[in-house]
């Protein structure tokens, strides 16, 4: 078989050995992974602090939902590459536009999970809490947020997944680091062995991230059957 289509495991392994030892074009392998994970982490942190409060408020109020839902439903199905060049125009070719792209792809699933989680809180739980003196912000901090948390973490799983899937697109323009960029760059030179090696690394990282979140869900909500 032509090794261009399917390199032998030995070749992939040696490509992995090469990039692990020597790095790839200026950065070490951990450096590339770190650059990508840093972008994802910053994007997800922004997703969590914006999509969660907005989603919960939208879930609790029909009026607020009527304002934000159409906007989010409009941009959500757009392919990220369609508006990426706009983001580059607005935010420059540095890291900001990449993080914004990841943020936008992760925002919608997190928002939808937050709306759903807030709407699912039993009325009796809210009523009971108000009877026990939880009002206003106290109600949100001590009852609504903890009630939503298991669903929010499940939403985080989906959201990280979508963000991760957008990573290669985000590292397409003017990047010199990141594992998404490594795959793109290697494909320019038809380094099929490196492409396979990096795809396997990406898969393993994705599984590790997902397992970490699932572990967190089990720790945070032991009463829910998984």
Partner 1 sequence: MGIGTGTAAEAGIRLTEISLAYGEGRERRQVLQGISLDLPPDDFVCVLGPSGCGKSSLLHMIAGYLQPTEGTVSINGVPHRKPDPQVGVVFQHDNLFPWLTISGNVAFGLRMAGIPKKERKRRTADYLSLVGLDAAASLLPHQLSGGMKQRAALARTLAAQPSIVLMDEPFSALDALTRETMQQHLIGIWQRTRTCIFFITHDVDEALLLGRRILVMQAGSGRFVEDFANPLCQAESGLPLHELRAAKDYIPLRQRLLQSIVRDRTTT
Q: Cβ 157 to partner 1, closest distance in Å?
A: 19
Task: Specify the residue, 2 or 131, whose C-beta has the smaller distance to partner 1.
Answer: 131
Q: Which helix H or strand E contains 127, and what residues bound it? A: helix 123-131
Check binding of 125 to partner 1 (CB under 8 A). Answer: yes
User: Using the rule CB under 8 A, is 138 a contact of partner 1?
Assistant: yes
Cα dihedral sign for 153, 159, 165, 166? negative
Closest approach of partner 1 to the CB of residue 143, in Å: 7
The correct pick among 67, 93, 208, 220 for binding partner 1 (CB under 8 A) is 220
Number of H helices, E strands in the chain: 11, 0
* Integer Cα distance of 101 and 170 in angstroms: 6
Question: What SS3 class is residue 24?
Answer: strand
Give the residue, chosen from 41, 149, 172, 205, that forms a contact with partner 1 under the rule CB under 8 A. 149
CB of 62 to partner 1, least distance (A): 19
**71 near partner 1, judged by CB under 8 A:** no
d(CA 54, CA 40): 21
**Sign (positive or negative) of CA dihedral 205, 210, 216, 222:** negative
Report if residue 222 touches partner 1, rule: CB under 8 A: yes
Residue 37 or 149: which CB sits closer to partner 1? 149
Kindly state whether residue 136 participates in binding partner 1, applying the rule CB under 8 A. no
Do 24 and 182 meet the contact criterion of CB atoms below 8 Å apart? yes
Q: 30 or 128: whose CB is closer to partner 1?
A: 128
What's the token pair of residue 170?
């985000």
Can you give the binding site for partner 1, defined by CB under 8 A?
Answer: 122, 124-125, 127-134, 138, 142-143, 146-147, 149, 220-223
């Amino acid at each position: 078989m032509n090794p261009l289509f399917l390199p032998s495991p030995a070749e992939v392994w040696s490509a992995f050995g090469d990039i692990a030892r020597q790095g790839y074009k200026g950065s070490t392998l951990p450096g590339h992974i770190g650059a990508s994970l840093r972008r994802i982490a910053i994007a997800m942190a922004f997703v969590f602090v914006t999509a969660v409060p907005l989603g919960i408020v939208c879930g609790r109020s029909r009026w607020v939902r009527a304002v934000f839902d159409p906007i989010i439903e409009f941009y959500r199905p757009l392919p990220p590459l369609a508006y990426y060049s706009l983001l580059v125009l607005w935010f420059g070719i540095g890291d900001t536009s990449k993080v914004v792209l990841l943020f936008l792809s992760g925002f919608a699933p997190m928002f939808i999970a937050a709306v759903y989680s807030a709407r699912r809180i039993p009325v009796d739980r809210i009523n009971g809490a108000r009877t026990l003196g939880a009002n206003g912000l106290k109600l949100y901090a001590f009852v609504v947020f903890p009630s939503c948390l298991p669903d929010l973490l499940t939403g985080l799983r989906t959201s990280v997944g979508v963000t991760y899937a957008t990573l290669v697109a985000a590292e397409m323009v003017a990047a010199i680091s990141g594992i998404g960029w490594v795959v793109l760059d290697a494909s320019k030179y038809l380094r099929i062995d490196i492409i396979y090696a990096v795809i396997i690394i990406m898969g393993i990282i994705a599984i590790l991230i997902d397992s970490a979140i699932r572990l967190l869900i089990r720790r945070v909500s032991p009463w829910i059957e998984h």
